[in-house]
Chain A
Amino acid sequence: MKRELPLAITAAIGVFMILSFFVPHQAVSVPADFLQASAIIVVAFGYVLGGANVLRVNFDGIYKRQPDWPYKILLLAGLIVTFAIGAIDGVEQHGGFLDQGTRSKWIYDNLYSPMSATMFSLLAFFIASAAFRAFRIRTVEAGLLALAALLVMLGRVPVGDLATHWLPAPARLGAIQDWIMNVPQNAAKRAILIGAALGVMATGLRVILGIERSYLSGEE
């Protein structure tokens, strides 16, 4: 029963949600909307569990003086201070804790935004190092791949068109990259997408039918 009941609920809700995609009638759409909204609430409660785990793992690390324990203090301080400030601002501003001039907005603008943007911008550096280290032309196919990569990379920026502006329009880098993106790239992408979409449907069906049940924990 411990496994059968969750499987029955999964199957019933799964089939109902599939039905709601095809049947716009209120008898289906209203309960479907209710279920979607309920899912949002369940997820929100899930954050309590997540927060508790962060506290447990890191307090444990500090208590046991793990090699990196000072970082854990920093992490916990950041978590607790941001949460407390958000809660206080939320009460003072009647929920608008990210309004202009609040302390939360200051944290958002001066800590969160630059740190987030910095992490993303690291990608440019990592792409250069990956290109140097790992883009090996060992075979004819790899050579074609590298050629396509170079053409697209240079064709997508102004310098590509500048270097080939003396050529007839269809032979310019911009036009060549446009063709690569629209024809071979698109064809290959569609093939992978179709395969992946079928994989999504098959996995979904396995879960709904209760064939894939390992996510229900190991206890029989």
Chain B
Amino acid sequence: MFFAFVLYFIRSAEKGKKPFVRRIAGIDAIEEAIGRATEMGRSVLYIPGILDIDDIQTVAGLVILESVARLTAKYQTPITVPVTYPIPFTIAEEMVKGGYLHAGRPEQYDPNSVRFVSPEQFAYVAAVTGIMLRDRPAAHIFMGSFYAESLLLAETGFATGAIQVAGTANVHQLPFFVVACDYTLIGEELYAASAYLSGEPKLVGSLKGADLMKIAIVTTVVVGCLLESLGIHALTLWMTTQ
């Protein structure tokens, strides 16, 4: 059902029907943060989460990185991307390189801007907080999957006075980012970000499909609650997985 919805809206987008997407303040704040870093003559620090490429949040984080790199290239602001795992590292290099290429400034790409640090969670934290305190980037962008390191990174970032934008679908880390960052993308906003940033109708169409599926789920939940309240268990039993 979900695939059908998504494919339908992608198809209708191809035919020229561009769906509406609401403003996402957190994503707009990314450009503001990069602009501020440019004004201050300092760099931007981008963290695509701490997981490997098999986590879809890392994919989302890396896709957003391309747009961020395009902006940093446009504003001629250095970007630093410390990465935890080797596969996201190679993709991050491609993303940053691609961003500079699309911005028409391939010669400005610094091969040392994307750095492999360590898959070890707290070794990574030590390295990134070190970068925050020594290099003093003016903007910190956290997009991807985060765990216990979220508050350690965001609080250290706050102490340096940087503008911070975060986005994660790891619900238990959201409170830490909300408290310590200026803007936070919550849950699915992270996945919607790449479509929002590119503005490409086909990508936006897939968001519409997900929205329709959500309506279907909400309807099922309401109907299920009503049926259960009336003592009819057929739907619940049909949904049970074990």
**Any A–B CB pair closer than 8 Å:** yes
A193 within 8 A of B: yes
Number of interface residues of B (CB under 8 A): 67
Contacts of A135 in B (CB 8 A): 179
B2 within 8 A of A: yes
Question: B94, A134: Cβ atoms under 8 Å?
Answer: no
How far is A54 from B36 in the complex, measured between Cα atoms in Å?
30
Question: B203, A123: Cβ atoms under 8 Å?
Answer: no
A22 within 8 A of B: no
Q: Which of A56, A194, A212 contacts B63 (CB 8 A)?
A: A212
Question: B95, A214: Cβ atoms under 8 Å?
Answer: yes
Write the B126-165 contact mask toward A (1 if CB under 8 angstroms, else 0).
1000100010000000000000100110010010000000
Q: How far is the CB of B173 from chain A (nearest CB, A)?
A: 11
Q: Which of B86, B115, B158, B190 contacts A199 (CB 8 A)?
A: B190
Q: How far is the CB of A77 from chain B (nearest CB, A)?
A: 15
Question: A49, B89: Cβ atoms under 8 Å?
Answer: yes
Q: How far is the CB of B98 from chain A (nearest CB, A)?
A: 2
Question: B151, A217: Cβ atoms under 8 Å?
Answer: no
Q: Which of A127, A196, A211 contacts B151 (CB 8 A)?
A: A127
How far is A206 from B210 in the complex, measured between Cα atoms in Å?
12
Contacts of A120 in B (CB 8 A): 122, 148
- Contact A204-B56, Cβ < 8 Å, known A189-B171, A199-B187: yes
Number of interface residues of A (CB under 8 A): 55
Contacts of A195 in B (CB 8 A): 187-188, 214
How far is A127 from B114 in the complex, measured between Cα atoms in Å?
30
Give the contacts of B167-196 with A (CB-CB under 8 A): 169, 171, 174, 176, 179-180, 186-188, 190-192, 194
Write the B68-97 contact mask toward A (1 if CB under 8 angstroms, else 0).
000000000000000001110111001101
How far is A204 from B191 in the complex, measured between Cα atoms in Å?
10
Q: Which of A129, A199, A205, A214 contacts B188 (CB 8 A)?
A: A199
Question: A46, B86: Cβ atoms under 8 Å?
Answer: yes
A67 within 8 A of B: yes
5 pairs, A vs B, C-beta closer than 8 Å: A53-B114, A53-B116, A123-B151, A199-B210, A217-B97
Question: B122, A119: Cβ atoms under 8 Å?
Answer: yes
Known: A200-B56, A203-B56, A215-B95. 12 other contacts (CB 8 A): A43-B86, A46-B90, A71-B130, A196-B190, A198-B210, A199-B169, A201-B210, A205-B3, A205-B206, A207-B59, A214-B95, A217-B94
Give the contacts of A177-209 with B (CB-CB under 8 A): 189, 192-196, 198-207, 209
Question: A206, B206: Cβ atoms under 8 Å?
Answer: yes
Question: A211, B152: Cβ atoms under 8 Å?
Answer: no
When C-beta atoms are compared, the residue in chain B nearest to A205 turns out to be B6
How far is A16 from B42 in the complex, measured between Cα atoms in Å?
46
Main secondary structure of the interface of B (DSSP, over half): helix
When C-beta atoms are compared, the residue in chain B nearest to A39 turns out to be B54
Q: Which of A42, A60, A212, A219 contacts B98 (CB 8 A)?
A: A219
When C-beta atoms are compared, the residue in chain B nearest to A53 turns out to be B116
Q: Which of A126, A192, A214 contacts B152 (CB 8 A)?
A: A126
Question: A60, B63: Cβ atoms under 8 Å?
Answer: no
Q: Which of A115, A200, A214 contacts B194 (CB 8 A)?
A: A214
A166 within 8 A of B: no
How far is A195 from B188 in the complex, measured between Cα atoms in Å?
6
A50 within 8 A of B: yes
Q: How far is the CB of A219 from chain B (nearest CB, A)?
A: 7
When C-beta atoms are compared, the residue in chain A nearest to B131 turns out to be A68
B166 within 8 A of A: no
Question: B116, A50: Cβ atoms under 8 Å?
Answer: yes
